[in-house]
Amino acid sequence: EAQVTQNPRYLITVTGKKLTVTCSQNMNHEYMSWYRQDPGLGLRQIYYSMNVEVTDKGDVPEGYKVSRKEKRNFPLILESPSPNQTSLYFCASSPRGGADTQYFGPGTRLTVL
Amino acid sequence: AQSVTQLDSQVPVFEEAPVELRCNYSSSVSVYLFWYVQYPNQGLQLLLKYLSGSTLVKGINGFEAEFNKSQTSFHLRKPSVHISDTAEYFCAVRSISGNTPLVFGKGTRLSVIA
């Protein structure tokens, strides 16, 4: 089944404790992206990647890192999480950018205490 | 840069009534336009998209949207809603040129009342 998977789905952590949220797609898509969703703010892009080893900042990249060493994986790294990073995170992929439909993962709900 | 305004944050509507969810965008270049839907506790999925050609676009689940270039709008409509249409709906735009991000509106929560 074609899908985007994220792990973990739920995570509660404490300020400053490094964490990684994994994202994997099995559709051979070139484009991958991370969003955060906050009430009243919609989805805001954190980082995106046009292909392996190519990443770029979105609208809200501060406090996040990403890497794209393989086509299928695009992990999101929070080196020192803070409470303002409490949010619902979505990974998405598409064949390329432009007009292509983005396929979203199920989301990761992160709480930073 | 592009921006999207969804004019209504919440829209309650009775079952089998028609609904329109409004979306206006701003861009100095031509754009692709999208509507995504998010059902409770799920990720987003594409409802429909406008790339070019006919300004009336039909999507899944009986939804359609009309692109109006002069009014920079892309309103979503359904003639008769069902309880199962209760969800959050996001309008999004993307420039047709270059590798630019997909920009989302803040969403409209559609609540269908029995």
B90 interfacial to chain A (CB closer than 8 Å): yes
B94 interfacial to chain A (CB closer than 8 Å): yes
pLDDT at B41: 85
CA distance B36 to chain A (A): 10
pLDDT at B2: 86
Distances (CA, A) of A99 to A15, B29, B96: 39, 15, 7
B40 interfacial to chain A (CB closer than 8 Å): no
B105 interfacial to chain A (CB closer than 8 Å): yes
Least confident piece of the model among A8-22, A54-68, B55-69, B98-112? B98-112
> Would you say residue B42 has pLDDT above 70?
yes
Contact across the interface for B43 and A90, Cβ inside 8 Å: yes
> Would you say residue A5 has pLDDT above 80?
yes
Structure confidence by residue, pLDDT tens digits, A34-62: 999 998 888 999 999 999 999 999 989 99
B99 interfacial to chain A (CB closer than 8 Å): yes
> Would you say residue A19 has pLDDT above 70?
yes
> Would you say residue B105 has pLDDT above 90?
yes
Instruction: Give yes or no for a contact between A34 and A91, defined as CB atoms under 8 angstroms apart.
Output: yes
> Residues A87-109: what's their mean pLDDT?
92
Contact across the interface for A45 and B32, Cβ inside 8 Å: no
B7 interfacial to chain A (CB closer than 8 Å): no
> Residues B92-103: what's their mean pLDDT?
84
Please tell me the distance from the alpha carbon of residue B6 to that of residue B23, in angstroms, as a whole number.
5
- Which of A7, A41, A104 is the best substitution to test chain B (most B C-beta atoms within 10 A)? A104
Q: In chain A, what residues touch B36 (CB-CB under 8 Å)? A: 104
The per-residue pLDDT of chain B, averaged, comes to 93
Give the tokens for residue B9: 């944050």
Please tell me the distance from the alpha carbon of residue A112 to that of residue A14, in angstroms, as a whole number.
5
Give the tokens for residue A89: 């995170």
pLDDT at A98: 80
pLDDT at B1: 81
Half-sphere exposure of B67 (CA within 13 A, CB side): 20
pLDDT at B12: 97
